[in-house]
Each structure stands twice: as structure tokens, then as C-alpha cells.
Amino acid sequence: MRTSIAVTICLLLGACATPPPPAAPLPPPPPIGEPGDAMGLTASQVRTEFGKPSFVRTENGSEIWRYDGVQCRAFFFLYPKGDSLGVRHVETLPHGKEIAADLSCLAALRRRPAS
């Protein structure tokens, strides 16, 4: 009897609990599209053009390389391509208006030749 009263009290108290606040809506996804000159680059070509990444994440044979600049960040998504890795997607923060990568950001992050 005492157990059923305790269970009833717990159920009543649970019913009075306030519901959790609604989750914040997700931001819209970046526009679809890829910068043509970066697509298909091999990992060594990305290093040649952009230098050493600021951060690398490896997962299931693929990698994400992040490059940090003063005004923006670029993310290169590399997937297996033959014996190496190749770029299959590029995004920047902030992203471009027409595609997920802002071309001016990528230009700013490219390595400058030594003078």
C-alpha cells in the first residue's frame, strides 16, 4: 500500500514539472556549390597552396583540415582518392553568398610566394 502511494505521489509530482524550453532553431545551411579550383585537389596540393592546416580531424579514413585567417576560416573535407586524399567539399566561415565557400576568404588564406 505504501509503495503504491509513493508511486502515485511521484507520478503526480512528475506531471507538475515544467516542460523544457523549446530548442533554438538551427541556422540555415550554407548554399550548395563548390569552388572549382579547390575541388579534386590532393592533400599535398592543398598543403602546397595553403600551407600547414591549423587543425586536422581524422575520422573513418577521411579528414577535415581547418585553416584560420584574420577574417575567416576555411574547412577542407578530404576523402580517399586513389592512394591519397582528395578535396570533395570546401566551406568557409563566413560562407559565400552563392556557394558554401567565400572565394575572397580562400584567396586570403592561400600562401603568398616569398618575395
Could you read off the pLDDT of 63-96 as tens digits, one per residue?
A: 999 999 999 999 999 999 888 899 999 999 998 8
pLDDT tens-digit map of 9-20: 666 666 666 677
- Distance of alpha carbon 102 from alpha carbon 98, whole angstroms: 8
- How many domains in the chain? 1
Q: Is residue 74 part of a domain?
A: yes
| Domain-embedded: residue 80 | yes
Which amino acid is located at 62 in the chain? Answer: S
Cell of 85: 586524399
Alpha carbon distances (Å) from 112 to 43, 103, 107: 18, 16, 10
| Lookup: cell for 114 | 616569398
How is residue 90 annotated by DSSP?
A: E
> What is the span of the domain harbouring residue 94?
33-115
pTM over 0.75: no
Residue 4 belongs to some domain of the structure: no
Q: Is 17 domain-assigned?
A: no
CA 80 to chain CA centroid, Å, is 18
